[in-house]
Each structure stands twice: as C-alpha cells, then as structure tokens.
Structure 1
Amino acid sequence: MIRQRALLIYSLYMLGGLVCASRFVHSARMGLGLCIVVVIVGMMPRFWKNRVPPSIVIVGLLCFCTGFTHYVWTEKRNVSVLPEEANAAFSGIIESAVKFDGNRCRFIVRMDRLDNKDLPHAERVQTTLYFRDKASWMKAQQTLGFGTRITGEIELALPIAPTNPEAFNYPEYLHWQRIHRIGKIKEAQTLSYDGRSLSFTGAMVASQQWLAERTTRLFAPESAGLLAGMLLGAVDEIDTDLYATFSSLGLTHVIAISGQHITLLIAGLVYTLRLCGVTRRRAYLATALFLPLYVAMSGSSASAVRALVMGEFVLLALLTGRIRDGWNLIGAAFLIMIGYDPYYIHNIGFQLSYLVTFGLLVFVPPLTARFTVGPAALCRLAAVTIAATVVSFPLTIYYFHIYSFLSPIINFLFVPFISVIVAPLAALALLLGSVHPALGFLPAKIVDLFLLPALQLLQMIEKGQLLRSAFRSPSMWWMIGYFCWLIFLAGWLYDKITLNWKAKLGFILCPLILFGSLFFSWPKKEVTVTFLDVGQGDAIVIETPRKTVLIDGGGPPPRWGEQPWERRRDPYNPVKSVVMPFLHARGISSLDLLVLTHGDSDHIGGISYLLENMPVRQALVNGLPAKIEVEKKVNQLLHEKRIPVVEARQGQIWREEPGIVWRVLNPAQRIVTEEDNANSVVLLLEAYGFHLLFAGDLEREGEERLLRENLVEPVDVLKVGHHGSKGSTSQAWVDRVTPKLSVISVGKENLYGHPHREAIERLAKRGGVVLRTDVCGAAVVHIKRNMITYETVSVSAACR
C-alpha cells in the first residue's frame, strides 16, 4: 500500500523542505532548527512496527533536500535590478489583463528598457495608469490590452508596507509574484502605444474579457458579475458587497474555479459529447484537450491548476483503462505545481485546495459508509460538506478570522443548487449567447429567476449576522492540536482506534478544549489602545479586559466634482479596508461602545458600513443635529438598528471595573455654539493609574475653556486634537497636559497641511515622544499595572 502511494509520501517530504526553506531565507537559525525537526520526523517511519521500505524514506529525504534547494535557489534569483525610486522613461509590454476602475486602470508591465537603456533582464512592475480626461480614458480602453507595448514616463517606488497591525502584506504578496516595484503613470497623454503582440495567453485573456462582457448582456446586473466569476474566473466583475457575503458565509469556493467546477465540466462535456454520438474514448480525449484551454482562460488560479492536473490524470486513466489512486494523484499534482513554482506554498487558494482535497479523500468514504438513512446522493453530499468544513476550519479562521457556523448548512443546500441547476443553465445560456444574445435569452432569464431570490436570501442571512464569530489567528500549538484531533477522528472512522472510556473522554474533551480556547480566554489585566492609520482621519480602538470601544472610524477622501466615468467600483472606505479587518483579526465580533466625536466625514464617513456589518451595543455622540448626508445616514442606521444612543455631556463618568474609569470632558453641559470641532466628544481614560486623553478635533477655543474650568491635568498619552492643525494644541494646553506620548492621526501628504510645524514643535519642547500615523503607521499603547509601553508598525528612527 505504501509503495502504491509513494507520490503522496514524496510530496509530503517535498512540502517539509519547502517550509523549512521559507523559514531559512528569513532566519537561518530558525530554518536549520526546523530542518532538524523535520528530518527526524521524516526518518521515524523507518522504525515503525510496519516498517516503511528504506527506499521510500531515502527518496523522501532526497525530495526534502530538493524542495529546500529549489526554494532557496528561486529566492536568490528573485531580485530586482530597478532603482527603488525613480522618475524615468520606460518601455515594456503589458503582461496581464487591463482592469479599468474609474479614473485609473491597473496592469502588469514587463519592463525591458529604462532611461533608454536595456535592462539586464526584463522585470515585472505592477502599474497604475491615471486619467485626467475622458478622451484619454476612452482611448486607453480601445488600445490597451495584453501584449500592448507602451512607452512613456513612469514613477517607480517600492511597494508600500502595511501600516496597521494584522494588515495584508502587499510587498510580500508581490514578491511571490516576482514583482518588486510599483509604477504610477500620472499622465496618460505621455504614453505611446504599439499594436498588441499575438500570444496564447493574450488570446485567453481576450476570450475571458469578451465572454465576461457577453455575460453582462445576458444576465441581470445582480447576477452577471457572480456568473462571470463562477464560469470564467473573472472575479473582478463580482460586486464587492456580494463577494463579501459569499466570503462571510464560506461560499467563496463556489466562485473560485476549483475541483468542483472542473469535475462538473468534465462530466458535462463527456455527457454532451456522448449524446452527440461521439465515442467514449474520443469524448475523454476531447475533454482532456479542452481543460487546459478553459483553465488558462479562467486565469489559472492555484486551485484551478490543481484540479486541472488531477482531472487530466483521471482522464488519462480512463483512456488507458488503468485506475489511478486518488492519493497518488494529489501527490503528483503537488509535485508538478511545486516544480513549476515553489512559491505556490504561500498561496491561500493552493493551501485550501490541497487541504480540502486531502480531507475529502480521508473522511468522505468512511462518513458515507456510516450514513445509512436517506438517499445515497444526500448521504454523500452530507459527508462531503462535513469533511470540507472540518478540514478547512483552521485555515479559514487563521487567514480570514470570520466564520459563520451556518456555513455548513448553507453549503449543503446552496452548492447542489448551483451545481445542478444554475451552473449548467448559465453555461448553456453563455454558450448560446456567444453565438447570438437572442439564443441565450431564455436560459439566462431562467437562471435569473432561480438565482436572484437565492442571492437576496444569502444577503439577508449575512446581514443578520447570526452564529457568526471573529477569531484571532490560532497559535501553532492550537493548529497542531487540531490536526492531531483530526488524525484521531480518522483513526476512529477507519476502526483503527477502539473507543474505550479513555478514548471517548479524549475524543470529547479535545474539541471542547480547542473550541473553548477560541471562544473563551482568561481576561488579562491590560488595556490596549490602537491608533489606526486610516489616512486623514481618526480611528482608535480601545480594548479593556471586558469591553471594546471604537472612537471614530475615519472616512473616504473627498472627491469633489467627480464625473460618472471617474467613479470607482469599490471606493476606498477605511472602515471596510482597515478598521473592521483589524477588529476581526483581534477576534472582535461586536463593539460595546461606539464613540462618534463629531460629524466631520473624516471621523464618521465610514461608520455606516460598520453599523451595517457589525453589532454595536451603544453609541456616544455629541448631540448636535446632523449637517451633512453622511451624518444623517449614520443617525438613520443607529435608529434602524435600535442602538441605544447617549449624548455626551461634561461630567459623565462610568467605571468598567476597578482601575478603569472613563470621564467625559466635552461637550459642555450647555452648548453655546453648533460648531462641530468645538463640541467634539473629549474623553479621559484612567487605566491602572495612567491617563489617556482623546481630544477629537478640539481646537484652541475649546482647549482654553477646558483650561479655565480646570478640567485637564497632566496625562501620559494624548491623542492630539484636530490632527495637529495650527489652530489646535496651544502652548497653554501643552503646558498643562504635558503628555509623555502624543499621537497625531493624519494622512500622508494631506490637502490641509496637517500636522502644522508649530504644533509639533510645541509638543516636542516638552520632551515627550510625538508619533504621526503618516510616518509611523499605527501606534499601539499597552497599559498594565505599573507599566505603559508603546510600539509602532514602522520601526524607523522617527518612531521611537
């Protein structure tokens, strides 16, 4: 049996070498230590009771060394020859689909000339092209495409490192795509275009775009993008809110081209060809030839390539009449993909695809055998759903943090609905509509008739936020414990483990401990304050031992005079892109208190999204009437969600627990002006003997009033008022507050010139540390008994 599944064993050894190498390139000590552990584990099968043949272990160790060497060799060659920053003339060929979004488009350029000199080797650059007028935008849409050679001026820079904790590491992601620079082309008029060069990949990209455009003509707008992603891999066409719904409910595998899609495609093609009178052998051969074209056209995602390789092996087995073992197929697919690119191991889709496939091979047969009630098809579907859920759960919460416990039920009901009804009809509509839209009209309308109500139901379930929780990324030991439990479960299902009382106790206690540690933790006597970098705006998360408070959330930058053609599909919203991902990564599913200091859009412009997607138990506001549409929408949502709203007034005090006290310093008991900044909610937090002052957008007039009324005292941490503007942070204020640490929430190169030089100088003269989010990224303050510390995302000298 072991010899028959040697490819699977070799792939595991190869994986060990790749993982060790990925650690080694960052830390030689850690990498070598991990190598020793993996080699010892890799040699243990030789000493088992049923010994593994020595040839298997020897070849496996060679695979380990091959994987290690392959990764290190690839990493050493993955370097850039381009300057880190430059404004230069360039020439290159577009090597990706061109994705238009409002007043810009994005693509990858394979650059071969810079400043009129040939580069030692062509290099990929992630490029953004901006348009100032509609004429250049229209010309680019007609001209740019895969294979177009462009020449002009470009601004090169290093990819921007994450500026917030738990944020997506974009430079690392690009590094694994062999991209080391990003480029901006700010003047489309400076570019010159040459004709597109013909290539297979270019033809596949053009085919996908043409079919995606045909999809928008056939189906309703609400379903067209989803079907384009589902059938063609054009995920950029999917509505962002709908994609978020699918992601939250654990249905993204329905969208991504994966094993499910390839299996359905193989079965559909073979069945159709057989109906047309084609012999079985020729049907298998035609399907095998078509699959690579389909995967290439759909974008060649990691999960699709894995499914392609395994599908081709299955078709080859059917053609030759030799049954292939599923375990060897997954091992062979792994070795082929890793041989092509060792960076696949960092791809989340690759990891999930192989892990779920592995889990299906392990758990589906014994689970199906134990389900004896009901039709065989339903029993197998239940087994597949349970196996995929149990196996994918740890990676899901590790990477995405949000998990809906309704996901297994929704998958059980929705996946067959998509697979049996929607996908075949949609594919037929697209096939007929490719000949002429009128031919695909009827099946497309039938698809909309079934799909649209289902999508509305899914969005209602997601908005209800039932049985949905956020989890912090589990520790390595938790992951090891979980997979040990899976091994125990598999042993029981295959009757390798007898369930005596000790085994039963372990079988029950292990998942209880694992899941209990996710949901419950002993409260630490610590307060963590995170000043997030949301650009020009405020967003402050305060985590106390028992509660979570959010002060403001930032807002999208103003886009005055924006024309319809300039509008982006998914405009930047700091709450959606920064605040909520951070909260979820911290394992925070709801807020105990939302503080809206005042109605300026740079403080509450993104709060509507938060109220629609996260439970809030209470809101604290300044009580002024809404003046702008953003504020009116926030007030409306607070009312619709039935969130208790408290108007902040000077003198209010509440105690969370011994050692943690909140005080409201502003607005005054009697409001004499309706100027928002003067009536910002100003809070003082006393935590374990330390004092933190959150000044909102308070300016000099408000500062002077608080000084006259003797309401402020020296503090340890000051959130500087109004982003350090010239009209705030007066000398008298600084002299009284004397902060040891001052944090200025401000956007890089903002239009207002914040923070003002004089404000920074006044703070610096007191000898305290001044941190700016535009320079240092997010600042995190940790408060424990008798100790306060801080850290910033950036480790530059200016942030110490």
Structure 2
Amino acid sequence: MRQRALFFCGLYMLSGLVCASQFVNSARLGCGLLLGFIIVGILPVFKNKAYYKLVVTGLLFFITGFSWYLWIEKHNVSILPDETNAAFAGEIQSAVMFDGDRCKFILRIHVLNGKALEVPELVQTTIYFRNEASRRQAEKVLSYGATLSGKIEIERPAPPTNPGAFDYPTYLHRKHIHRIGKIWDVESLSYGHAPIGFTGLMMSWQKKLANRAFELYHPTSAGLLSGMLLGAVDRVDPELYTTFSSLGLTHVIAISGQHITLLVVALVYVLRLFGFTRERSYLLTACLLPVYVVMTGSSASAVRALIMGELALFALLMRRAKDGWNLLGASFLCMALANPYYIHDVGFQLSYLVTFGLLSFVPPLMRKLPFKRDGVRGLAAVTLAATLVSFPLTIYYFHVYSFLSPLVNFLFVPFISIMIAPMAAISFMLGMIHPAFGFLPAKVVDTLLLPVLQLLDKAEEWRSFRFVFRSPSLFWIGGYTFWLLFLLGWLYDKIALNWKNVMIFASFSFLLFGTLFISWERKGVTITFLDIGQGDAIVVETPRNVVLIDGGGPLPEGNKKPWQRRRDPFNPVKSVVMPFLYSRGISTIDLLVLTHGDSDHVGGMPYLLNHIRVKQAMVNGLPAKTEIEAEINRLFKEKRISVRKAEQGQVWREEPEIVWRVLNPASAPSSTGEDNANSVVLLLQAYGVRMLFTGDLEKDGEQRLLSEANIGRVDVLKVGHHGSKSSTSENWVNYLKPKLSVISVGKKNRYGHPHREVIARLAALDSIILRTDICGAITVYVRDGIVIYRTFGKSTACR
C-alpha cells in the first residue's frame, strides 16, 4: 500500500466525493455512506499498524474530497432570471456546432439588459436561421472566443418527462450551466471576431481537418475518422454511431487512452527516425500531447489519458521507475481537484474502470491464456480484462449488450489501430498541404474500411447475440465486484483451484448472472403513455406480453430545403420510446399496433423495426398512402413480421382475466377515406378494469361505435385525436363515463389541442384528466380491480 500511496489516496478522495454527491440529495444517505467509508478506511490500521500514516493521509484526502464537492455544489448557482427576453453581450466558450437551420454553442454572458453581471454565466445557446445567407454569414464569424450581442430568450432547461430519459438539466448543472438560450433574430446580432488564442486556434484546426476529411473520403469514412482522430463526434453518421454503440465500439470513436498511447508511440518513433535523442523525443512528445487533447475537445477520458501519459513521459525523462497504479491515482487526484463533477461523467467512469481492469487483470491473464504468440495473447488479455470490468457499467447506463462485442473488439481494434489510423493520419496531414497529396492514402483507407463497416452493420443486426437488461441494483453490482475479486484471487494464485472452490464459484456465477437473464413474470398490467410531443406512444405490459400502440414520428422534412435539414432530426421512437423500452429491460415487442398512417403515430416505426424485434403487427388494412407507410410495409416483409388486419369483433385472451377486443375499423372501411375514421380502436379488460384506446377516432366513428360495439363504461380512456374538437363528443363521453382520461398531446402545439370544450366535457363528469404536455409520461397500474396512476412530470398543474 505504501508503494502505491497515490492510488490509495485517490480511492479515499473518490469515497469522499461519492459521499458528498449523495449527501446533496439525501443527508441521511450521505451520512450513512460517510460513516461506512470511514470505518472501511481505517481497517488497514488493524491489519498493520505501519499503515497508520497512510490511513491518516488518506482520511485527509477523504475529507478534502467531501468538502470540495460540497463547496463547489454550494457555489454552483445562477443569478439569471428563470425566463426572460433580454439584451445581452458575451462571448462563445465552446466549439460551434452547425446542424441544418440552427447552431449550438456555450455562451458566456457578462452583460444582461445593460447591466454587468457580477459573475459571468454560461448559457447553452441555440441560434435559429431563417435563410441560408444568415447561416453562411454565421459560419464565417462564429467560433470559439467570438463576441456577440443582441437579443436572447433565456429559460430553464426542461427536466426529463419520460422514464429512462436523459436528464438534461443535471447534465448542464455539472457543467456549471443553469439556463438555455434561444436567438431567433440572427440579423439583429452584432458580431466581433474572435481574438487569436491557443484554444480557439486548436478548434479552428479541428474544423479545417474535419472539413478536409469530407473532401478526401467517402462521407461515412470521413465522419468516423473525424470522430476517431479529431474528436469531432458530431460528424459521425448517426446510424454508424448506433451500430458502434450496440457492438461496444464507441471507445474507438471517443478520444481515450488507446489514442494517446498510439500517438505517443508514433511520435517517439518518428522523432527517433529524424535523429532526436530519446530524451528529446520524450520531451517533444510531452509538449505535443496537450496540443492534440485540446484540439480534440478535452473530453474527460482524454484528459485522464493525457495526465497519465505526461507523468509516464516525465518518469522516463527522470529515469525513474513508473508505476501504473500511482499514475492512475495521480491523474484522478488532479482531475478531481480540477472538477469534482467528473465523477458523474460516464466516459470518465469507464476510462478509469477499464484502466483499473487492465492493470489488475492483464498481467495474470498473460500468464494463464494458452495462446503461443505474445501479440495475440496480449490482445486477448486486454479485450477480456476490459470486457470483465466494463460489463456492469455498460448495462447499468446503456442497458444493451451484445455478446459479439468481445470478438468484434478483438478483431476490429487492431485493424483500426494498426492499419487504418496511421494511414488516415498521414492522409490528413498531406491533405492539409493540398487535397491531391492526401488522395491516394485516403482511397486506400476507404477501400479497406468501408467493407468492414458494412460487416459491422450486418453483425449489429444479429439480435440473438444482443440482450437488453434493466439497470442492475447496487446490491447486484456489489455481488459482481465480489465475483471479480474471487476471479482475481484465482488468477494471482491466492485461491486454490480445487473442486470445492470451483463449485462455489460456479454456483455463485449461476445465481449472479441468472438474475440478469431470468425474466420474472410481471404482475398485473402496466400502461405507460409516453410524452413524445404531438403524437401517440403507448406501452402496455401484461404478465406475458408487451404491446406497443403507435410511437410517434419526426416532423416531416420534405418541405425543407437541403440547408435546413438536420443530420439527426428528433425522432421520438429513437429518443423516447426505445430508451424507455430498454430501461424496462424489454427487447421484444409481442404486438405492434399501428392505429392508422398519420406520421405523428407511425413516422418513427422504420427506426423501431430496424432496432428491436417485433413478433406481430396489427394494422387497419388500408393501402399505403405515404412513403413512410410503404417503408413500414417493406420492413414487415423484410423482417418476416406477421401482419394482422384489425377488424371489429376480433377477440383474444392472454389469460382468463386479460381480454383484448377490436372495436374499429369495421369490416368495411369508412367511406370517408380518412385514416382517422379507420383508426384501430382497442378495448382492454384486465382484472375487472376496462381501458379504451381510441387512436384518432372522430365524432362520426364514435357515434357508429356507440350503436354497433356495445362498449359499456370504461375506467381509463385514451382521449381520441389528442383532445381535438372533432373527437370526444358529448354523447361519447356521457356513455363511457371514464374515471381517468389521458390525453397525449404536444406542449404549445400549433393545433390548439386539447380543445377547451373537450376538457369541459370530461371535467363535468369528474373524470381525472391527465395530459402528457403537463404531466409528462403517465403510468397506469392495474392490480386486482384497482387502478393507480403516476405521472413522471413534476408540474403542480397536473393532478
């Protein structure tokens, strides 16, 4: 322990930071953790009194971490108003990301409404462009350090409104940002050119190199290489990024220790070729590393690798022995003191965890693995070690894990590191002199890389190797940690490999992983009305099946000009529905119901069909009228999904107490030809509770069902057509008498939904009215004839 004092001091400080982060949310939990960590922290003294000084020093670091986090949290506040339209003056403090008819950056405001702020504040800002000329002008003048003044609309960032959604306000808070800003009148802005500075110069070079990459390479290769070598992750094709994420390859794109190690080796090798001494090669490399890290965006994982790399090079210069554990501890102490919020960064956590795993597991694995060649054995050891330690964190945050990931990493990482990265770097450097110089190596890279990316895309579609997990409990993660320690004990020959220990290890492994893979039967029925804006997305979970009714879709892009179109427009299926399903551990949809063909109900279905297994689909049977509907029909055939045409009178039972009935469409489609009139309407009867899902059915259809379907009263009503005036007629409401009415509707939508007359009709019956625009996602639990609801949003206007 004394030989690796920096590492253990880092552990003590980490413990203090964790305790403080929990203390902020719950004083009781924070104090409990504080007491527990202090008790664990003094245990080494009872083992060996010689550790007394180390433990005392560690406890000082523990107290420092605890106090430092609380001090930062106390002062991490804003004095800006919650909402305002104001005149401002400030400067840009980040790279400027252009995407279609908008751009985003971090703005530091130091003047608001003519008054200088005591402390300048950071605001996450978006500029919206009305025409192409204003965007071109902005591209010329907006960069890191540029000054701006004009009018800005400031507001608080909206909290998440769906389970499993990304917590944007917390993310910004940990970057010391408390407000978001919108600039609509770009023509009224006054610009000032950015002064020449190191950070701005590096960001400018990153942009120039990324732009040159798109001149040299195929767009897919250019985006990947820009992210991989330059840190310009926003240039990576969204579908390719999804593929890499699914296969556990995002570390290839994120600047991390692997990139820094390769860069150090390459720089030292090249400098030695040019005749530099070993010491001067180390010194020049140490000077160039910060330049590269700043140019690539200074991510947490990159900064960690930079600090460790600089310390290792310094040790080589001083001809001192370097210890990986002390380097890891020293880098953590530096980063924690610079910004204690780093401990919440997923990239930071994975970076340190994987480095810890490599230091712990690779040496014994190199001795144990049976491969004859050192290179193969080393690569296998690194892949296995990284997989073992990153697995729990991966499923905790991302829920999806492909068991092809270790094999893909074993094959793809050396291919990209040894063959692609060096040639791509050469083509980038030559291309900056003139594109013609970088043309040949770029074409070689394209020829090698593009077929491999196509293979990865095919591998990502092999769903049998991909599993979806709910976030494991901290108790499970503790059990996994114990499992890893047992494995380490065997690898380091501290635990004998006899039949008793093997049986204990095998039994514990079965119990540990069995709890992940065994699907416990759900009790009762859970219905979640997701907040996807203006559209419908309803997930029904019964004891045996998962039913998804619609899913919303992105806004139509067809009427937008090419310069206005975004690289990755908001798709509620991708951003809301899929994260929710994954957070629930759902990997298969047993029945997908498409009520009708409107884009706000089915526009996102192609993405869903390409990324999750669907066993069966139910449609209204009308011919496709739009490109989206045609694409959905094509995917049904391609994925071999059984398609059932919904007709009035169809009934099926999941179990005696759970019955589904189709009420609409009638066997003969409505003569109006409107999709709304032919919406699939379902009645679910579960444990004595009746729930009606109406799609966009309108008044005429409602009247017809009242005379044909013998519906009866319902307990839960999904209000038709987002609460429009054309639906939810007085006769309909008076007949159904719903106790709970749910309206799926977008906030401040242009249609004025829900209509005040609809709200009045429902309120007159004392029906509880829940709206997704106010309440966020709405979850209804049905157990033994009892209906319980919960809203995810925190609005006081929601009852």
TM superposition score normalised by structure 2: 0.99
Shift of the 424–466 alpha-carbon distance from structure 1 to 2, 3 Å rule, reads farther
What's 1:530 paired with? 528
Q: Residue 465 in 1 paired to residue 448 in 2? A: no
What's 2:206 paired with? 208
Secondary structure of the residue that 1:440 maps to in structure 2?
Answer: helix
Contact 2:647 2:663 in 1 (8 A): yes
Give the 5 Å matches for 1:367-766. 367-559=365-557, 561-673=559-671, 674-766=673-765
Contact 1:81 1:120 in 2 (8 A): no
Superposed CA RMSD in Å reads 1.1
Partner Cα separation in structure 2 for residue 661 and residue 476 of structure 1: 38
Count of residue correspondences: 798
Q: Residue 74 in 1 paired to residue 81 in 2? A: no
Q: Displacement, 1:659?
A: 1.5
Contact 1:18 1:342 in 2 (8 A): yes
What per-residue deviation string (whole Å, max 9, x for no partner) do you get for residues 55-107 of structure 1? 11111111110000000000011000100000000000011111111100001
Q: Displacement, 1:710?
A: 4.6
What per-residue deviation string (whole Å, max 9, x for no partner) do you get for residues 130-163 of structure 1? 0111111111111111111110000000001101
Report the AA paired with residue 688 of structure 1. Answer: Y
What's 1:54 paired with? 52
Partner Cα separation in structure 1 for residue 173 and residue 500 of structure 2: 49
Partner Cα separation in structure 2 for residue 506 and residue 255 of structure 1: 40
Partner Cα separation in structure 2 for residue 221 and residue 52 of structure 1: 61
What per-residue deviation string (whole Å, max 9, x for no partner) do you get for residues 717-763 of structure 1? 11101111101111111111111111100111112111100001101
> Mind listing any 5+ residue stretches in structure 1 that lack a counterpart?
none
Q: Displacement, 1:798?
A: 2.4
Partner Cα separation in structure 1 for residue 270 and residue 785 of structure 2: 74
Report the AA paired with residue 193 of structure 2. Answer: G
1:257 to 252, 255, 261: 255
Partner Cα separation in structure 2 for residue 238 and residue 99 of structure 1: 13
Q: Displacement, 1:511?
A: 2.0
Q: Residue 240 in 1 paired to residue 238 in 2? A: yes
Report the AA paired with residue 209 of structure 1. Answer: K
Secondary structure of the residue that 1:795 maps to in structure 2?
Answer: coil
Q: Residue 787 in 1 paired to residue 786 in 2? A: yes
What's 2:109 paired with? 111
Contact 1:536 1:557 in 2 (8 A): no
What per-residue deviation string (whole Å, max 9, x for no partner) do you get for residues 663-720 of structure 1? 1111112324232111100001111111111011111111111111252111111110
Moved segments of 4+, more than 6 Å = none
Secondary structure of the residue that 1:54 maps to in structure 2?
Answer: helix
Secondary structure of the residue that 1:790 maps to in structure 2?
Answer: strand
Report the AA paired with residue 497 of structure 2. Answer: L
Shift of the 365–726 alpha-carbon distance from structure 1 to 2, 3 Å rule, reads same
Q: Displacement, 1:522?
A: 2.6
Partner Cα separation in structure 2 for residue 202 and residue 658 of structure 1: 67
Partner Cα separation in structure 2 for residue 672 and residue 76 of structure 1: 63
Report the AA paired with residue 23 of structure 1. Answer: Q
What's 2:277 paired with? 279
What's 2:19 paired with? 20
Contact 1:665 1:711 in 2 (8 A): no
Q: Displacement, 1:326?
A: 0.7
Contact 2:155 2:181 in 1 (8 A): yes
What's 1:326 paired with? 324
What's 1:159 paired with? 157
Q: Displacement, 1:445?
A: 1.0
Partner Cα separation in structure 2 for residue 326 and residue 231 of structure 1: 25
Q: Displacement, 1:175?
A: 0.2
What's 2:197 paired with? 199
Partner Cα separation in structure 1 for residue 327 and residue 166 of structure 2: 33
Partner Cα separation in structure 1 for residue 776 and residue 558 of structure 2: 27
Contact 2:663 2:709 in 1 (8 A): no
Report the AA paired with residue 292 of structure 1. Answer: P
Give the 5 Å matches for 1:326-345. 326-345=324-343
Secondary structure of the residue that 2:437 maps to in structure 1?
Answer: coil
Partner Cα separation in structure 2 for residue 399 and residue 456 of structure 1: 27
Give the 5 Å matches for 1:300-315. 300-315=298-313
Secondary structure of the residue that 2:144 maps to in structure 1?
Answer: coil
Secondary structure of the residue that 1:25 maps to in structure 2?
Answer: helix
Partner Cα separation in structure 1 for residue 543 and residue 20 of structure 2: 39
What per-residue deviation string (whole Å, max 9, x for no partner) do you get for residues 430-459 of structure 1? 111122222211111111111111111101
Partner Cα separation in structure 1 for residue 200 and residue 290 of structure 2: 15
Please say which of residues 128-137 and 669-678 is displaced more in the overlay. Answer: 669-678
Partner Cα separation in structure 1 for residue 440 and residue 795 of structure 2: 62
Partner Cα separation in structure 1 for residue 350 and residue 516 of structure 2: 21
Partner Cα separation in structure 1 for residue 418 and residue 193 of structure 2: 43
What per-residue deviation string (whole Å, max 9, x for no partner) do you get for residues 260-280 of structure 1? 111100101111111111111
Shift of the 255–31 alpha-carbon distance from structure 1 to 2, 3 Å rule, reads same
Contact 2:651 2:661 in 1 (8 A): yes
Q: Displacement, 1:412?
A: 0.3
